[in-house]
Amino acid sequence: MTPVLVSSLEEAERLLAAGLVKHVELGFELTSDEFFHFASYWCERGAKIKKNHRHFVISLKKYTLPPNQT
């Protein structure tokens, strides 16, 4: 499946969180802090991050919702 090219971190997070896509390509520059925060959050949820020729690609096989905390 071809990844969806996104132009902002907010767009990537929105698409992944909604489960609308399984593969997102970050088509923009990130600071190291932004990258590690983003990677930490999504890798805890089962995402894999790879670097293609130009950009990072986030692949999410199955998104699991965290349990409700009451």
Three-state DSSP state, 16? helix
Tell the residue number behind the tokens 């902002």, with chain if given: 8
pLDDT at 19 (0 to 100) = 87
Q: pLDDT tens digits, residue range 9-66? A: 999 999 999 888 999 999 999 999 999 999 999 999 999 999 998 999 999 986 555 5
Locate 42 and state its tokens.
Answer: 């999504």
The 8-class DSSP code of residue 46 comes to T
Per-residue tokens: 19: 């489960």
